[in-house]
Amino acid sequence: MANVVVVGSQWGDEGKGKIVDWLSERADVVVRFQGGHNAGHTLVIDGNVYKLSLLPSGVVRPGKLAVIGNGVVIDPWALAEEIETLASQGVTISRENFRIAENATLILPLHRELDALREAAAGAGKIGTTRRGIGPAYEDKVGRRAIRVMDLQNPSTLKPKIERILTHHNALRRGLGEPEVGADELCAQLGEIAPKLLPLVDTVWELLDGQRRLGKRILFEGAQGALLDIDHGTYPYVTSSNTVAAQAATGAGIGPGALNYVLGITKAYTTRVGEGPFPTELTDEIGQTLGERGREFGTVTGRARRCGWFDACLVRQTIKVAGINGIALTKLDVLDGLKELKVCIGYRLDGEPVDHLPASQGAQARVEPIYETHEGWSESTAGARSWADLPANCIKYVRRVEELIETPVAMLSTSPERDDTILVHDPFED
């Protein structure tokens, strides 16, 4: 049976939460493999709205095992709060349906503070982070001074590790004019939160290997989109982890040969939160209309998303980099009623045509989109569940998108509701 990786093919906010939830009905295990609580997934199930940041989307389904892999950075206080919120909505989280990788890195209060301090000090040069400590936590992981989940199991060895990380952070804090953090204070904070995490800790690589050998279907859930990848995104306006499909293997502790199909979640237009280049951005009435119809506000931050036309050139590029086999086209209904639609098919850079977004920050800011125009449709696609429900011009638009991105549409999403989905190809059947 196939194991499926779900990643975003744009700058995130493509609707991964709903698609992962929909696919999780066919899966046995759902795994988060990168990012932290800077991700935001909104699920609408039978009229109930669930907002997740750290927990895998499959956790709301009975009988599924949700897993946070080693590639995720975990804010234990945020995780505990999220679990409590779901409990108030009738979703029970326990070892029966949820596990945390013992070797995942923790986000500490000092990471959140440093993130905010840096952004505030950067002024016009800010990156646009969520100020949740994601970047500083990954820095400590790579710097080999991080506190990991397993460290909470042994208080006697925790304090020396905290003293080591504070040697680094207190030097930074002094330079920023901030008070130092005491080792005893941080030890006490971690000691207080530890009992909420430790019952859920597991050796995740071994757990997933066992599930795979039993023939269980595993769904790997990415957080941010491919254009926010630390290597392949619009650097430096990116997140601090790899968001492409290959990270699913590294961030979960499973071999790449176990990843059978990559589904790229792709919005029928384009959005971006925060700073950075956006070639097809619309600052006019149409952009405002897309934002209002699509309810384009960040699940985590509440920030309004920038909106623009579909960028086929950019999606084609991320499909190649991320190894995407098919896409799930989402929010098609937001385009209903627009008289004409534009699709970016390439760029001009300093007057010369280019077929991809350059890696250079300066060049990314200078590219100009080349558009082709398509006739829109007046009929509603909201809630459509078959091709027969779609207007002819809508089908033409979808088929042209497939041609331009050189990848088939495997699924279409026509509303936030779980069942308003048209399945063209089941990824689990590969």
Cα 92 to Cα 76: distance, rounded to the nearest angstrom = 17
Phi, psi of 151 (to 5 degrees): -65, -25
Which position among 21, 37, 41, 229 bears the catalytic label?
Answer: 41
- Dihedral of the alpha carbons of 24, 29, 34, 40, in degrees to the nearest 10: 40
Catalytic, 13? Answer: yes
The DSSP secondary-structure symbol of 228 reads G
Asked if the bond preceding 369 is cis, omega within 30° of 0, the reply is no
Helices (H) and strands (E) in the chain, counts: 12, 20
Count, residues in the chain = 430
Catalytic, 21? Answer: no
The DSSP secondary-structure symbol of 182 reads P
Given a contact cutoff of 8 angstroms between Cβ atoms, the answer to whether 55 and 85 are in contact is: no
- Amino acid identity at 304: A
Given a contact cutoff of 8 angstroms between Cβ atoms, the answer to whether 325 and 261 are in contact is: yes
Q: ∠ CA(119), CA(271), CA(11), 5° rounding? A: 65
Given a contact cutoff of 8 angstroms between Cβ atoms, the answer to whether 115 and 73 are in contact is: no
- Give the residue among 37, 14, 221 at the shortest CA–CA distance from 115: 37
Given a contact cutoff of 8 angstroms between Cβ atoms, the answer to whether 277 and 268 are in contact is: no
Given a contact cutoff of 8 angstroms between Cβ atoms, the answer to whether 97 and 83 are in contact is: no
Q: In a 3-state reduction of DSSP, which class is residue 282? A: coil
Phi, psi of 393 (to 5 degrees): -70, -30
Known catalytic residues are: 13, 41
